[in-house]
Amino acid sequence: MRKLILTPQKDFSAALPTGALAAVQDSPAAAYAALPPNQPAQVDVRWVCSPGEYTYLRAFHRLVGGGSLPFLIDLVLDGGDLMEYRARFVPGSLRLDRAEGNLRSCRASLEVALADPSTVGPDADAALVASYGAA
């Protein structure tokens, strides 16, 4: 599986459960908490990159079929830690927002799930706490 090496800006929106956008309008916390672990989520991401990096991003987008093929990407989501996710571009979502001098600002929507689900959950949390010598 290919890996996109450009990590988006850290200030993108939090993950929303795929297909649950209408359900979370009234009670986002309740709807999110009810999801099973590693439920796919949709995130909006933004890159600010050089013209060469933008060319790479467009070429990568074409290689993964504009969203039909999964790929790996490192993201910082709700937990605040950089983690590897399996992702797909939402078709038609990659857009160039601004081209100014040597900077390109673009955005896309991705459907993501953790590449290694064993890195989260009660067992992973217990192992992490135990590694610090806590009971």
Tell me the pLDDT band of 40, cut-offs 50, 70 and 90.
confident
- The arithmetic mean of pLDDT across residues 72-96, rounded, is 90
Better-scored residue on pLDDT, 72 or 23: 72
Angle (CA) 33 27 9, round 5° = 70
| 99 torsion bin: left (phi>0), alpha (psi -120 to 50), beta (else) | beta
Q: Supply 72's token pair.
A: 């790996």
Q: Give the pLDDT score at 3.
A: 96
The pLDDT value recorded for residue 77 is: 80
| pLDDT (0 to 100) of residue 102 | 96
- Asked if 67 and 91 count as a contact pair (C-beta separation under 8 A), the reply is yes
> 30: pLDDT confidence band, cut at 50, 70 and 90?
very low
pLDDT confidence band for 116 (50 / 70 / 90): confident
| Average pLDDT in the chain | 80
Instruction: Give percent above pLDDT 70 in the chain.
Output: 68
Pairwise CA distance, residues 70 & 110, whole Å = 10
User: 90 pLDDT exceeds 80?
Assistant: yes
pLDDT value at 112 more than 90: yes
130's CB contacts (< 8 A; 6+ apart) are none
Task: Report the distance separating Cα 59 and Cα 55, nearest Å.
Answer: 6
Please state the three-class secondary structure of 60-71 as a single string. HHHHCHHHCCCE
Dihedrals phi, psi of 34, to nearest 5 degrees: -80, -5
